[in-house]
């Protein structure tokens, strides 16, 4: 009897191993630095794909060089359903600034996965006590504020430009603080980071760019500023993906995004699920390219189209 049970266990293990071996092995390209939030998301997604037996393995590749170089290489070389790319709004925007590089739409868009929102803050000792105060000052003299919003052309910079347009300020006069935010009189940062700084007493958070309040901080829309802005991440396959392969991939990835590990990552980063696929996702990407490209031109950035 013991031998029979041992034989049955060995048979089941062999069958499970055989089933796992039949699952595809994926390579997931992440343009940018290893250890970044998107890189972390790629590694958790890969582990989730394996955990739901949607993949036998997932290798994460961080190509050297500029993110747009990695995008160009992926579009040129990636073929078949086992080559994937995880990227977001920052890469879509960067591709608008360079001549001769592809857009993310030149790959095969699969699905938008998640979105993170920003907080608008001022130093703790700022005279701007409310979002209304800051909006009035911004409209009256955009250059009087120095924004801690990253590098020129970054997604955070584009958000400040969107805010300028929304409150009636001249986006071309938006002024960025030096790297590191020294001397900044206002700023934008991911909600989680800004709230942590507020708890430490370093800043005062005036609004969030989410559709509604987060942790007691009201959204821009709730304060009369008609702007919702989120930084998303999405998944792509190589060009020319067959519809049957696309549909199969979507089922596998959807299952991975329903795992506890993926949901824990969203909570850790302060991101929200934002699943969007198919033609809706393709239209969304085209709209993002148009709006971000237009905004970049209003900021005097070199835009290829």
Percent of the chain with pLDDT over 90: 76
117-223 shares the fold of 2-115+232-298: yes
Segment 178-221, tens digit of pLDDT = 988 889 999 999 999 999 999 999 999 999 999 999 999 999 99
The domain 117-223 having CATH identifier 3.40.190.10: the answer here is yes
Q: What pLDDT, on the 0 to 100 scale, is given for residue 305?
A: 52
Residue 126 has pLDDT above 70, yes or no: yes
d(CA 255, CA 190) in angstroms, rounded, equals 27
Q: What is the mean pLDDT of residues 270-298?
A: 91
Residue 1 has pLDDT above 60, yes or no: no
Q: What pLDDT, on the 0 to 100 scale, is given for residue 194?
A: 97
pLDDT tier for residue 21 given thresholds of 50, 70 and 90 = low
Q: Are 39 and 60 in contact (CB under 8 A)?
A: yes
Residue 75 has pLDDT above 60, yes or no: yes
Q: What is the mean pLDDT of residues 141-167?
A: 93
Number of other residues whose CB lies within 10 A of the CB of residue 97: 17
Tell how far CA 75 is from the center of its chain: 19
d(CA 276, CA 284) in angstroms, rounded, equals 9
Number of other residues whose CB lies within 10 A of the CB of residue 120: 26
Tell how far CA 270 is from the center of its chain: 12
Number of other residues whose CB lies within 10 A of the CB of residue 45: 28
Q: What is the mean pLDDT of residues 21-40?
A: 90
* 237 closest CA partner among 106, 70, 85: 85
Q: Are 81 and 251 in contact (CB under 8 A)?
A: no
Q: What is the mean pLDDT of residues 47-52?
A: 97
For residue 109, the cross-strand partners are: 236
Least confident of 13-17, 87-91, 195-199: 13-17
Q: Are 205 and 198 in contact (CB under 8 A)?
A: yes
Give residue limits of the domains in the chain.
2-115+232-298, 117-223
Q: What pLDDT, on the 0 to 100 scale, is given for residue 304?
A: 58
Q: What is the mean pLDDT of residues 70-85?
A: 94
Q: How many residues does the chain have?
A: 305
Q: What pLDDT, on the 0 to 100 scale, is given for residue 100?
A: 82
φ, ψ at 248 (rounded to 5°): -65, -45
Q: What is the mean pLDDT of residues 152-170?
A: 93
DSSP sequence for 172-220: GG-EEPPTT-TT-SEEEEEHHHHHHHHHTTSEEEEEESSSS-BTTBPBT
Residue 15 has pLDDT above 70, yes or no: no
d(CA 16, CA 22) in angstroms, rounded, equals 10
pLDDT tier for residue 13 given thresholds of 50, 70 and 90 = very low
Residue 294 has pLDDT above 90, yes or no: no
Whole-model pTM: value is: 0.87
Token output for 23: 């699952």
Whole-number average pLDDT of the chain: 90
The fourth-level CATH superfamily of domain 2-115+232-298 is Bordetella uptake gene, domain 1 (3.40.190.150)
């Amino acid at each position: 009897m013991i031998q029979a049970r041992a034989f049955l266990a060995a048979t089941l293990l062999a069958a499970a191993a055989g089933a796992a071996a039949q699952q595809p092995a994926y390579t997931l390209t992440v343009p940018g630095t290893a250890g970044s939030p998107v890189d972390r998301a790629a590694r958790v997604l890969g582990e989730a794909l394996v955990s739901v037996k949607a993949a036998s393995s997932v290798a994460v590749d961080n190509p050297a060089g500029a993110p747009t170089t990695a995008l160009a290489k992926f579009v040129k070389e990636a073929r078949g359903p086992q080559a994937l790319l995880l990227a977001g709004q920052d890469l879509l925007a960067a591709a608008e600034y360079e001549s001769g590089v592809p857009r993310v739409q030149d790959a095969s868009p699969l699905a938008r996965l998640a979105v993170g929102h920003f907080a608008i803050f001022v130093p703790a000792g700022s005279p701007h006590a409310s979002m209304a105060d800051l909006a009035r000052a911004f409209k009256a003299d955009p250059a009087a504020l120095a924004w801690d919003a990253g590098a020129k052309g970054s997604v955070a910079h584009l958000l400040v430009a969107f805010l300028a347009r929304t409150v009636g300020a001249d986006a071309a006069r938006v002024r960025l603080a030096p790297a590191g935010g020294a001397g900044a009189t206002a700023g934008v940062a991911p909600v989680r980071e800004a709230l942590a700084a507020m708890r430490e007493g370093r800043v005062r958070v005036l609004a969030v760019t989410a559709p509604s309040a987060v942790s007691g901080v009201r959204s821009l829309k709730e304060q009369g500023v008609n702007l919702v802005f989120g930084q998303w991440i999405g998944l792509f396959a190589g060009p020319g993906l067959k519809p049957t392969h696309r549909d199969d991939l979507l089922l596998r990835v959807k299952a991975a995004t329903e795992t506890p590990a993926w949901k824990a990552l969203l909570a850790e980063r302060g991101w929200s699920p934002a699943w969007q696929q198919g033609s809706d996702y393709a239209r969304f990407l085209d709209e993002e390219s148009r709006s971000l490209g237009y905004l970049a031109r209003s900021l005097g950035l070199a835009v290829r189209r």
